[in-house]
Amino acid sequence: MQLHNFNSGPSILPPEVLIQAAESIHNFNNTGLSILEIGHRTSWFMEVVQEAQQTVKRLMDLGDEYEVLFLQGGATMQFMQVPMNMLDENGTAAICDNGVWGNKAVKEASIFGKVKVVSDSSDKKYTYINKDFELPSDASYLHITTNNTVEGTQWHSFPQVNVPLIGDMSSDIFCRPTPFNQFDLIYAGAQKNMGAAGVTLVVIKKSILGKVSRKIPAILNYQKHIEAGSLLNTPPVFSIYVSLLTLRWIEKEGGLQEMERRNKEKSDLLYKTIEELPQFYCPIDKVDRSIMNAVFFLTDPEKEAPFLALCKSEGMIGVKGYRTVGGIRVSMYNALPLSSVQAFCALMKRFAIDN
């Protein structure tokens, strides 16, 4: 049976990336050694890091005022590393909390200083993005989650503010052309749209650093990672290599414009199918719907279990909604082919006829 991988993360990667990654485990770049066996300070691996950094900057169209780092600890570590490096007693972290991940960013930032949740969308169960906010006069930065992976909402334009803008782009990095230069710090766990678990992309505008008084351990200090060229200690070598392969694939396929064209085609088809079938409904405001993660429900909640059982028997992987949200979540990351969404929509139609 053909499988269709709608996992929310770790998630689908392009088949050719998997083949190249597998080859590199036996023989990396014709060195006769495995990627798992080479030193991280060899010229072989330094070239991997540098090419990955350059490709990120090309895709983001960013200049030398930005630095690209590959760190560990996941996006979850960034919830604390950002405030540790950028928030002290002289300021306030302004955070838009539109879901599970924004909420975690709030909790971690409050360990390091004052936090103001400038907007949240809990009044309507996170079915929209609350873009109506005012910054406190002492805001050190504004933090947003560009795509709410769990709730299925996405920012489609970004706030213009006069403080550093920080974006958690874990689940929509490189899904479309983005004005990355509007952001001062961007981070993304690689395992959703960029590569294998174990590495987190962090892109920083250097001028925002060095403004807090606290002492920062080297491993958590962005400045130290920048000075070390993202090789402060042994990095996640294999995960970085898989990200490089995916970044190359994005460029070869036509870049972010082509990714957006594909992602829109897939998500338009799915949302249209949901609208057409009375057995399903999507509670998310149309203007805020995510092109990466579609969250929707069965009109009759009793039909959810049979629908999920049918999905399972037909090879539709990872479509059960997040545990606190329920319903259905279909993740459509860059590497997911249109044919998988077509197959899923055909199954929805079949289920609708029988129900």
Contacting positions for ligand PLP (CB under 6 A): 9, 74-76, 101, 145, 149, 168, 170-171, 189, 192
101, 155, 172, 288: the active-site residue: 101
Is-catalytic flag, 101? Answer: yes
Q: Which is nearer to ligand PLP, 58 or 107 (CB)?
A: 107
For ligand PLP, which is the closer residue by CB, 208 or 292? 292
State the burial class of residue 171 (Cβ atoms within 10 Å of its Cβ: 0-12, 13-18, 19+). buried
Examine the residue annotation and report whether 168 is marked as an active-site residue of this protein. yes
**Residue whose CB is less far from ligand PLP, 56 or 144:** 144
CA 308 to centroid of chain Cα atoms: 25
Give least dist CB 147 to ligand PLP, A. 6
CB of 319 to ligand PLP, least distance (A): 17
For ligand PLP, the closer CB: 192 or 205: 192
Catalytic residue from among 97, 114, 168, 266: 168
Catalytic residue among 116, 192, 205, 266: 192
Residue 104: active-site member: no
Q: Is 168 or 260 the residue whose CB approaches ligand PLP more closely?
A: 168
Residues known to be catalytic: 101, 168, 192
